[in-house]
Structure 1
Amino acid sequence: MIRILIVDDEPYAREELAELLAPKPDIKILGLAANAIEALPLIQTLKPDVVFLDIQMPKLSGMALVAMLDPLPRIVFVTAFDDYAIQAFEENAFDYLLKPVEPVRLAKTLSRLRHDLSPQPVTMLAPSIRHIPGYLHNRVRLLPIEQVEFAFSDLGGVHVACQGEQFHTQLTLKSLEEKTPLLRCHRQYLVAPEAIFEIQLLENQLAQIVTPSGARVPVSRRYLKALKDELGLE
């Protein structure tokens, strides 16, 4: 059962999303909140698996609410403006939906949530991963883990950057984090310690990693301190 809280200052938007979610047999709507201030104690008390969260709200925005949450539930931002998408993912979003929410697009989000929340068959994996199967067009390449710079997830799945190319992989980020030396630097990114050429500190306690190939890997404020501790940085 996926436990969901909906947060939106527009009553029609709240109710419409609830109506789309309610018929799903594996969905339980814990409640509806009219703003971020009302949502904060509900999240802390009810501990939902997922929060469908509007971005633009009076007094406290959805982005500001996310910065206050620890631990962080899976966040699906719901917005009328697609230019918020990049910022949404920088703020550890699991996904984002554009208003009005399309049932087909919502179904894709729910499918990803079901996969992410379901127990992973880790017993099928070796104690450690030496090579990552990478798919590119009609090729399958076994990528040596020591040659991988970083891995990331997006709406298309999980991808691995290796020697200037990006490959799709069927492994999850969680499996890669548990079974390889890759370090978590963002909800959607893992990076190889040997591929950290430079860490650039940005505004709002964010950062980005520059790899030897020149790629930029985001570091969210949630993982910045842990990453610096892992690398022995002050």
Structure 2
Amino acid sequence: MTAPTALIADDEPHLALHLKQQLLQLWPELNILSLARNGIEAAERIAELRPDLAFLDIQMPGLSGLEVAQGIEGLTRVIFVTAYDEYAVEAFDQAALDYLLKPVKAERLARSLERIKAAMASPLQAGSEAPDAKLAGVLRQLQSAPAGRPAVAPLRYVRAAQGELMHQIPVEEVLYFQADDKYTVVQTATAEHLIRTPIIELAEQLDPQQFWQVHRSTLINLNHLAGTRRDEASRLFVRFKNHARELPVSRAYVHLFKAM
């Protein structure tokens, strides 16, 4: 039987190393493939190494642990390492996902590993969407405003500089927002602009009934959606009106399009 594999992602190296040592003491057979120092590195190594497990710190530079989890295409199971309050912890419990509160205690880690081993005894099937749908629901809960925060009107315009000009773009005209290195691409039917607002911040400001996150790096405007397409590998892509480019849908969000 192949030894289980794992990745640990934390921007504090001493905490990542401590968790690795705890894991190897409690589960000697576990093969720790990599210690990632930020979210971008974690996403790249998960895509490359396809570990069975990913222990993701939620607050990391580059991409948060939530964003990394949203972009996982394979069957890697996620365990969040978090300093979130009881509101978020309750969200994890309700969705039956596991989490570890910092500082990680050996007794809690041992219980977590028991749950993980039990889950791994019933392997996920390729193409299975139920765990991903559950993960997506938890991620939306964690990224929504905490209880008690006053409601804010959805964003109506974004401003993008181009040389000496400043463009004010109605969000109704935006086909999609997509992360691109240090910038976010704002794509309309007629032009492409760049802004510095991260995707995770835009997701909090836009109307969730109009804009859906379909990938860790992509928000789409449903009002401009022309349809979807599946390729030979059964991967889902979205198409837009009056725009030739198609965008991939991460497995965590495929369930959103079942009714379409």
- For normalisation by structure 2, the TM-score amounts to 0.48
Which amino acid is 2:89 matched to? A
Per-residue deviation, 1:74: 0.5
1:9 corresponds to which residue? Answer: 11
Question: Are the structure 2 counterparts of residues 69 and 188 from structure 1 closer, same or farther at C-alpha, using a change threshold of 3 Å?
Answer: closer
Q: Is 1:21 aligned to 2:23, yes or no?
A: yes
Of 112, 115, 118 in structure 2, the residue corresponding to residue 112 of structure 1 is 115
Shift of 1:81: 2.0
Give the SS at the match of 2:97.
Answer: strand
Matched, 1:186 2:133: yes
Structure 1 contact 63–88 (Cα < 8 Å) conserved: no
Q: What residue in structure 1 maps to residue 50 of structure 2?
A: 47
Q: CA, structure 1 residues 105+64, in 2 after alignment: closer, same or farther (shift >3 Å)?
A: same
- Aligned amino acid, residue 50 of structure 2: K
* 8 Å contact kept, 2:7–2:33: yes
* 1:105-144 map, 5 Å: 105-119=108-122
Shift of 1:185: 7.8
Superposition pairs of residues 31-42 of structure 1, within 5 angstroms: 31-42=34-45
Which 5+ residue runs of structure 1 have no aligned equivalent? 121-173, 190-199, 207-220
Q: How far off is 1:95 after superposition?
A: 0.9
Q: Which has the higher contact order (CA 8 A, sep 6+)?
A: 2
The equivalent position to 2:82 in structure 1, one of 79, 87, 98, is 79
Give yes or no for contact 1:6–1:51 (8 Å, CA) kept in 2. yes
| Contact 2:50–2:74 under 8 Å retained in 1 | no
Distance 2:210 2:133 in 1: 14
Q: Distance in 2 between matches of 1:44 and 1:223?
A: 15
Q: Which residue of 2 aligns with 1:94?
A: 97
Percent identical residues: 37
Q: Give 1 or 2 for the bigger CA radius of gyration.
A: 2
Q: How does 1:202-213 map to 2 (within 5 A)?
A: 204-205=212-213
Cα displacement string for residues 11-59 of structure 1 (whole angstroms, at most 9, x for unaligned residues): 1210110110112222111110101111122111111000000001122
CA shift digits 1:170-191 (9 cap, x unpaired): xxxx8xxx9xxxx7783379xx
Of 69, 73, 79, 1:70 maps to 73
Cα gap change, 1:8 to 1:224, in 2 (>3 Å): closer
TM-score normalized with structure 1 length: 0.52
Q: How many pairs align?
A: 147
Superposition CA RMSD, Å: 3.5
| Structure 1 residue 201: Cα displacement | 5.5
CA distance 1:12–1:69, shift in 2 (3 Å)? same
Distance 1:95 1:205 in 2: 23
Distance 1:69 1:36 in 2: 12
Report the alpha carbon displacement of residue 63 of structure 1 after superposing the two structures with TM: 0.9
Gaps of 5+ in 2: 137-207, 215-249
Query: 1:184 & 1:72 partners in 2: Cα distance?
Result: 10
